[in-house]
Chains A and B, each alone.
Chain A
Amino acid sequence: MSKYTEEDLEQELKTKEYEYGFYTDIESDTFAKGLNEDVVRAISKKKNEPKWMTDWRVEAFRVWEKMEEPDWANVNYPKPDFQELAYYSAPKVKPKLDSLDEVDPDLLETFKKLGISLEEQKRLANVAVDIVIDSVSVATTFKKTLGEKGIIFMPISEAIQEHPELVKKYLGTVVPTSDNFYAALNSAVFSDGSFCYIPKGVRCPMELSTYFRINEGGTGQFERTLVVADKGSYVSYLEGCTAPSRDENQLHAAVVELIALDDSEIKYSTVQNWYPGDAEGKGGVFNFVTKRAICETNAKVSWTQVETGSAVTWKYPSCILKGNNSVGEFYSIAVTNHYQQADTGTKMIHLGKNTKSTIISKGISAGKSQNSYRGLVHVGARAENARNFSQCDSLLMGNACGAHTFPYIEAKNKSAQIEHEATTSKIGEDQLFYCNQRGIDTEKAIALIVNGFSKEVLNKLPMEFAVEAQKLLEISLEGSVG
Chain B
Amino acid sequence: MELKEKIVSSYLAFENDVDINSEIHDIRTEAFHNFEKLGFPTKKLEAWKYTSLNSVLKNDFSIFPNKENAIEFADVKKYFIHDIDTYKVVFIDGKYSSFLSDTTHDGKDVCLMSSALSKSKYKAVIENYFNKIAKQDNLTSLNTAFANEGAYIYIPKNVEVEKPIQIINFTTGNDAATMVQPRNLIVVEENAHVQIIERHQSLTENAVLTNVVTEIFSAKNSTVDYYKIQNDKDNASLVDNTYIEQKTNSVVSVHTFSFGGNITRNNLNFYQRGEHIDSILKGITIIEGKQHVDHHTLVHHIEPNCESHQDYKGIFDARSTGVFNGKVIVDKEAQKTNAYQQNNNVLISDKATINAKPQLEIFADDVKCSHGCTIGQLDEDALFYMQQRGIPKKEGKALLMYAFANTVLESVKIPEVKQRINKLIATKLGVNIGFDL
The residues of A with any CB-CB pair to B shorter than 8 Å are 72, 379, 381, 394, 396-426
Q: Which residues of A contact B366 (CB under 8 A)?
A: 426
Given contacts A410-B353, A416-B347, contact A404 B361 (CB under 8 A): yes
- Given A421-B370, A423-B369, A396 and B355 touching (CB < 8 A)? no
> Does B354 lie at the interface of the complex (its beta carbon under 8 Å from any beta carbon of A)?
yes
> Once the chains are docked, how many angstroms separate the CA of A412 from the CA of B347?
9
Given the known interface contacts A402-B362, A404-B362, A418-B376, the answer about A413 and B355 at a Cβ–Cβ threshold of 8 Å is no
B365:A414 contact, CB within 8 angstroms: no
- Contact indicator B365/A381 (Cβ below 8 Å): no
Residues of chain B contacted by A398 (CB below 8 angstroms): 365
**Closest chain A residue, CB of each to CB of B361:** A404
Q: A399 contacts B359, CB within 8 Å?
A: no
Question: B residues within 8 A CB of A419?
Answer: 372-374, 376
Chain B hits for A417, CB < 8 A? 374-377
Complex Cα–Cα for A139 and B409 (A): 67
Check A409–B357 contact: CB distance below 8 A. yes
**Interchain CB contact under 8 A, A426 and B356:** no
CB-defined contacts of A415 to chain B, threshold 8 Å? 377
Residues of B350-397 at the interface with A, using a CB-CB cut-off of 8 Å, are: 350-377
B23 within 8 A of A: no
Q: How far is the CA of A403 from the CA of B365 in the complex (A)?
A: 9
A405-B375 contact, Cβ under 8 Å, with A399-B332, A411-B353, A423-B370: no
Q: Which residue of B lies closest to A413 (CB)?
A: B350
Residue B98 is within 8 A (CB to CB) of chain A in the complex: no
**Neighbouring A residues of B352 by C-beta, 8 Å:** 412, 414
Within 8 A of A (CB), among B190-233: none
The smallest C-beta distance from B330 to any residue of chain A, in angstroms, reads 8
Residue of B nearest to A376 (CB): B357
Q: A396-B364, A411-B347, A414-B352 in contact; A406/B376 too (CB < 8 A)?
A: no
Q: In the complex, what distance in Å separates the CA atom of A255 from the CA atom of B386?
A: 54
Number of A-B contacts (CB under 8 A): 115
A420 partner residues in chain B, CB cutoff 8 A: 356, 358, 371-374
Is A406 in contact with B357, judged by CB distance below 8 angstroms?
Answer: yes
Residues of B in contact (CB 8 Å), total 35
Bound: A400/B331 CA distance, A: 10
Inter-subunit contact B359/A404 (CB<8 Å): yes
Is B411 close to A, CB under 8 A?
A: no
Cross-chain contact A422 with B358 (CB below 8 angstroms): yes
> Which of A379, A403, A407, A412 meets B362, CB within 8 Å?
A403
| B46 proximity list for chain A (CB < 8 A) | 72
Q: Which of B354, B364, B375 has the most CB of A within 10 A?
A: B375
* Cβ A412 vs Cβ B373 within 8 A: no
Contacts of B359 in A (CB 8 A): 404-407
B101 CB to closest chain A CB (Å) equals 43
Docked pose: A416 CA to B347 CA in angstroms: 8
Kindly state whether residue B417 has any CB partner on chain A within 8 Å.
no
Point out the residues of chain A lying under 8 angstroms from B377, CB to CB: 414-415, 417
Alpha-carbon distance A407/B358, docked complex (angstroms): 6
In the complex, residue of chain A having the shortest beta-carbon distance to the beta carbon of B341: A422
Q: Which residue of B lies closest to A386 (CB)?
A: B375
Please report whether the interface of chain B is mostly helix, strand, loop or mixed according to DSSP: strand
A residues near B360, Cβ cutoff 8 Å? 394, 403-405, 422, 424
A-B residue pairs in contact (CB < 8 Å), sample of 11: A72-B46, A394-B360, A399-B335, A403-B362, A404-B361, A405-B361, A406-B357, A409-B354, A414-B352, A418-B376, A423-B369
* Most chain B beta-carbon neighbours within 10 Å: one of A402, A409, A410, A413: A409
* CB-nearest residue of chain A to B346: A414
**Contact of B22 with A by CB under 8 A:** no
Q: Provide the residues of chain B in CB contact with A401, threshold 8 Å.
A: 363, 365
CA of A425 to CA of B362, assembled, Å? 10
CA of A426 to CA of B376, assembled, Å: 31
- In the complex, the answer to whether B364 meets A413 with C-beta atoms within 8 Å is no
Q: Which residues of B sit under 8 angstroms from A424, Cβ to Cβ? A: 360, 362, 367-370
Bound complex: CA A381 to CA B355 (Å): 13
* Contact status of A409 and B375, CB under 8 A, knowing A414-B347, A414-B349: yes
Q: Give complex CA distance A424, B328 in Å.
A: 12
A84 to B349, CA, bound (A): 54
Q: Is B348 an interface residue (CB 8 A)?
A: yes
Chain B proximity of A23: nearest CB distance (Å):
36
- Residue from B354, B365, B372 in contact with A411 in the complex, judged by beta carbons closer than 8 Å: B354
Residues of A within 8 A of B371 (CB): 405, 420-422
In the complex, per-residue mask of B231-274: 1 if CB is within 8 Å of any chain A CB, else 0: 00000000000000000000000000000000000000000000
Query: How far apart are B410's CB and chain A's nearest CB, in angstroms?
Result: 22
**What separation, in Å, do the CA atoms of A421 and B371 have in the docked complex?**
6
Q: Which residues of A are found within 8 Å of B375, using beta-carbon distances?
A: 379, 409, 411, 416-418
Which 3 pairs across A and B sit closest by C-beta, in order of nearness? A396-B365, A414-B347, A409-B356
**Across-interface contacts of A412 in B (CB, < 8 A):** 352-353
Name the CB-closest residue of A to B358.
Answer: A407
A118 to B206, CA, bound (A): 78
The minimal Cβ–Cβ distance linking A300 to chain B, given in whole angstroms, is: 23
Provide the residues of chain B in CB contact with A400, threshold 8 Å: 332
Q: Taking A404-B361, A424-B360, A424-B368 as contacts, is the C-beta distance between A409 and B347 under 8 angstroms?
A: no
Bound CA–CA A416/B352 (angstroms): 11
The docked-state distance in angstroms from the alpha carbon of A400 to that of B367 is 14
Whose C-beta in chain A lies nearest to the C-beta of B366?
A: A426
Which one of B350, B362, B365 has the greatest number of beta carbons of chain A within 10 Å? B365
A423 to B: closest C-beta gap in Å: 5
**Cα distance A419–B365 when bound, in Å?**
25
Instruction: List residues of chain B with CB within 8 A of the CB of A410.
Output: 353-356
Whether the pair B357, A408 counts as a contact (CB closer than 8 A) is yes
Give the nearest-CB partner of A421 in chain B.
Answer: B372
* Residues of chain A contacted by B364 (CB below 8 angstroms): 396, 399
A163 → chain B closest CB, angstroms: 42
Provide the bound-state CA to CA distance between A398 and B366, in Å.
9
Q: Nearest CB to that of A393 among chain B residues?
A: B370
A423 to B332 Cα, complex, angstroms: 17
Q: Knowing A401-B363, A402-B362, A404-B360 are in contact, say whether A414-B350 is a contact too (CB < 8 A).
A: yes
- Chain A proximity of B347: nearest CB distance (Å): 4
CA distance in complex: A149, B360 (Å) = 49
**Residues B370 and A381 in contact, CB atoms below 8 Å apart:** no
Nearest chain A CB to B327's CB is how many angstroms away? Answer: 9
- 4 additional contacts (CB under 8 A) given A406-B359, A411-B345: A412-B353, A414-B352, A417-B374, A421-B370
A418-B373 contact in complex given A406-B357, A408-B357, A424-B360, C-beta closer than 8 Å: yes
Q: Which of B361, B365, B372 contacts A399 (CB 8 A)?
A: B365
Within the assembled complex, what's the spacing in Å between the Cα atoms of A423 and B368?
7
Complex-state Cα separation, A425 to B360, whole angstroms = 12
Considering only CB atoms, which chain A residue lies closest to B360 in the complex?
A: A405
- B376 contact set on A, CB distance < 8 A: 416-419
Q: Kindly list chain B residues whose C-beta atoms are within 8 Å of the C-beta of A399.
A: 332, 335, 363-365
In the complex formed, the residue of B with least CB distance to A402 is B363
CA distance A394 to B352 in the complex (A): 32
Distance, CA A217 to CA B361, complexed state (A): 35
Docked Cα-Cα span, A209 to B319, in Å, equals 48
Closest residue on chain A to residue B350 by CB atoms: A414
Contacts of A418 in B (CB 8 A): 373-376
Asked if residues A407 and B357 are in contact (CB atoms below 8 Å), the reply is yes
A425, B330: Cα distance in complex, Å: 13
In the complex, which residues of chain A have a beta carbon less than 8 angstroms from the beta carbon of B370? 421-424
Give the docked Cα–Cα distance between A131 and B342 (Å). 47
Docked-complex contact B373 and A402, CB < 8 angstroms: no
Complex contacts, B348 vs chain A, CB 8 Å: 414
The residue on A at minimum CB distance from B376 is A417
8 Å CB contact of A426 from B349, B365, B374 = B365
CB contact between B347 and one of A413, A421, A422 (< 8 Å): that residue: A413
What is the CA–CA distance of A379 and B354 in the complex, to the nearest angstrom?
10
Verify A402–B361 contact, CB threshold 8 A.
yes
